[in-house]
C-alpha cells in the first residue's frame, strides 16, 4: 500500500509576523482615532494618539528584546498609512459616531490578541524563559492603549475596565506556549489560534459582563 506525501506550504516566519502586525497596528490605530475624536483632539493630537496606540506596545517590545531598528522604521509604509488615517478621520468618523464604542472594543480586542501572540512568539524565538515570554506579550499588547489613553487625558482602560483585559492576554499567551511545545501546527496557525482565543475571550467576557474582583477600601 503506497502513501502519497501531503505537500506542505513553506511558512516564512518574517512574512507571518509582518502580516499579523499590519493587522494589529491598524486595529489599534483605529481605536486611537475614535478615542482622539471623542476627546476632540486636533489633527496633530489625533496623529499622536493614533501613533502611540499603533506603535507604543511594539516599540517597547523592540526595546526590551533589543531589536533595532524599530519595526515601524523598517516598515515605514505603516507610518504613512497611520498619517493617511488621521487626515481622513474628520470625514470618516462622523458616519460611525454611534458605533464608536463597539468599534473601539472590537479593534482593541483584535490588536490585543495579535500583539500578545506575536510578542510572546518573538520572545520564544530569542530563547527567553516562559514567564518573561508571556509578560512581553502582555506588555506589547497593552502599552500602546495605555499611552493612547494617557495623552487623551482619560483614565486608561487597562486600569479602569473591570472586564478581563490584560489577564485574558496572560492566559492566551500560556496557550500559545503550549501549542508551540506540542508542535502540532506551524507558526501561522499557532498565532491564529492564540490571537483568536485572546480577542474572542476579551469580547465574550465583556459582552456577558464578567468582571474581575476589585479592591474595596471601605
Confidence of residue 133 (pLDDT cuts 50, 70, 90): very high
Mean pLDDT for the chain overall = 81
CB burial of residue 103 (10 Å; 0-12, 13-18, 19+): middle
More confident residue, 176 or 82: 176
Domain coordinates of the chain in residue numbers? Answer: 13-207
Q: Which residues contact 87 (CB under 8 A, 6 or more apart)?
A: 43
> Can you read off the three cell numbers belonging to residue 134?
508571556
Amino acid at each position: 500500500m503506497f502513501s502519497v506525501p501531503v505537500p506542505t506550504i513553506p511558512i516564512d516566519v518574517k512574512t507571518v509576523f509582518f502580516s499579523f502586525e499590519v493587522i494589529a497596528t491598524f486595529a489599534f490605530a483605529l481605536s486611537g482615532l475614535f478615542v482622539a475624536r471623542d476627546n476632540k483632539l486636533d489633527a496633530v493630537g489625533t496623529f499622536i494618539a493614533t501613533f502611540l496606540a499603533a506603535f507604543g506596545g511594539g516599540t517597547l517590545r523592540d526595546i526590551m528584546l533589543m531589536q533595532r531598528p524599530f519595526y515601524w522604521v523598517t516598515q515605514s509604509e505603516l507610518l504613512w498609512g497611520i498619517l493617511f488615517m488621521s487626515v481622513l478621520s474628520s470625514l470618516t468618523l462622523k458616519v460611525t459616531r454611534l458605533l464608536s464604542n463597539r468599534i473601539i472594543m472590537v479593534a482593541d480586542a483584535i490588536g490585543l490578541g495579535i500583539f500578545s501572540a506575536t510578542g510572546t512568539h518573538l520572545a520564544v524565538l530569542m530563547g527567553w524563559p516562559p514567564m518573561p515570554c508571556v509578560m512581553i506579550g502582555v506588555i506589547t499588547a497593552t502599552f500602546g492603549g495605555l499611552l493612547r489613553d494617557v495623552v487623551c487625558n482619560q483614565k486608561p482602560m487597562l486600569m479602569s475596565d473591570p472586564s478581563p483585559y490584560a489577564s485574558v492576554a496572560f492566559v492566551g499567551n500560556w496557550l500559545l506556549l503550549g501549542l508551540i511545545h506540542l508542535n502540532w501546527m506551524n507558526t501561522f496557525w499557532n498565532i491564529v489560534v492564540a490571537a483568536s482565543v485572546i480577542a474572542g475571550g476579551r469580547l465574550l467576557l465583556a459582552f456577558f459582563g464578567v468582571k474581575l474582583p476589585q479592591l474595596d477600601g471601605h
